[in-house]
Chain A
């Protein structure tokens, strides 16, 4: 969308296209693959059991088998493995690797040293127990996230919401979740159109200070619009007989 070097614009474009591609796309859920053919309720139960089982697994090698099976299911469900790996590995290094790195060292996990090195006169020891603990943690996160992503991309979101109702999740929660999903997309579109409109008027390059100013105003504008929308949607609900209960 924005082909210039402006950091703010590139970030916005990146976030928007990620949201549109990964959260709102029904592309993979509509394919005729293995997981798509399974009843969503059964699928949710099976995936939940797998996730719970992974919490109790203490061997990385078993987790690796789970991970390989997850990739196999993705392949059988006609999901591009490149897309799947991109989706599942984007946030994992951020959330799990940073947490796992300190566990490598003897300070947090004492044990048999496998690597020793010095930085500014301070010596660091990586222990075998620390390394296996870190691998186990990362493997568990990767596999859990992969299964969760696999469930969400092979099931249409309204079917997932319907499944939540079957599991006796309060209807008000399911309804709010559905509305959030619906309106996040609308606001993504508003932000996207606003930035195209700005670009059409200010050109490709603007001073970063001006850019910050525009972004700040747009956040405020979006907030005001969402408040207005909130009121209007509530009126539309009242108009069709909503009594405050889902």
Chain B
């Protein structure tokens, strides 16, 4: 299909050629789609996102982006490299990795300066992001002085300022309070409504429905065990339980001990 952005065929990757991180992944991502990748810790979600961002390349199998096979050599071509980085933005799981400049302002401006984006457009977007993410007061502070929630918002701003067509987010709501989580989800939905493709990896099952049209479930053996619409996946308690995404929760109601799978989707009710 013409609107195919990413195409992975039997993509495998191992760290130091010893520790497998992805074992034969097949994924197609189309323009404007919302994709969620869920799975337990160490199931290969972050590795997949790094591969989609052209930071690592498959040992076996292929990954294509915009019809071009992603290889180290492809990024030696400066035009392709700049074009790709303008189109694809990744928000890293650990914001400390992404915020390496002396001040928040410099961190946000790092991408546009490197990519030579148009100054007026960047300035306008910078003002919008500072307002939308409520980070204006943080701009002249050093990243090490920020809380985890503030760091995450700045990391998101430093990617959004590039205005990429494809936004990849590695656990964007981890460790955030409910209000900031809501804010970030709204931001992602808005970005998707404006035509952007969103790929999110998460453990938070309660955000999956909102941030995805298709959900991919990763297993501990670094493979996709199932994919489908969020409604179908989230109803498959057995699958979620087998992949450490829900747990059996037991608690007491008056004198009776009561046990059931705990999905963290919403507050459960008892009759």
Contacts and interface: CB of A to CB of B under 8 A. Distances in A.
Interface string A213-246: 0000000000000000100110111111111000
Interface string B237-251: 000000000000000
B22 interface: no
Contacts of A33: none
Measured as residues with beta carbon below 8 angstroms from the partner, the interface class of chain A is 20 to 34
B106 A229 contact: no
A186 B106 CA distance: 18
B100 A237 contact: yes
A241 B90 contact: no
A237 B110 CA distance: 9
Interface stretch (B78-86, B222-230, B252-260): B78-86
B95 to A, nearest CB: 10
Contacts of B114: 240-243
Interface stretch (A52-60, A61-69, A72-80, A177-185): A177-185
Contacts of A229: 97
B97 A236 contact: yes
A164 to B, nearest CB: 11
Nearest to A237: B100
Given A161-B102, A233-B100, A238 B55 contact: yes
A182 B85 contact: no
A24 interface: yes
Contact of A243 (B78, B89, B145): B78
Given A24-B144, A186-B144, A236-B92, A243 B81 contact: yes
Q: What DSSP secondary structure best describes chain B's contact surface? A: helix
B10 to A, nearest CB: 24
19 contacts: A26-B145, A158-B140, A182-B99, A182-B142, A186-B96, A189-B144, A232-B92, A232-B97, A233-B97, A235-B50, A236-B98, A236-B100, A237-B110, A239-B85, A239-B92, A240-B159, A241-B82, A241-B111, A242-B110
Interface string B197-228: 00000000000000000000000000000000
Interface of B: 50, 53, 55, 78, 81-82, 85-86, 89-90, 92, 94, 96-103, 106, 110-111, 114-115, 140, 142-145, 158-159, 162
Contacts, number: 73
Q: What DSSP secondary structure best describes chain A's contact surface? A: helix
Contacts of B53: 239
A157 interface: yes
Contacts of B96: 186
A236 B96 CA distance: 10
Given A185-B144, A243-B81, 19 more contacts: A158-B103, A158-B106, A158-B142, A178-B101, A182-B99, A182-B142, A229-B97, A232-B97, A233-B97, A233-B100, A235-B55, A236-B97, A236-B98, A239-B90, A240-B89, A240-B111, A241-B114, A241-B115, A243-B114
Contacts of B94: 232
A182 B98 contact: no
Contacts of B50: 235
Interface of A: 24, 26, 157-158, 161, 178-179, 181-183, 185-186, 189, 229, 232-233, 235-243
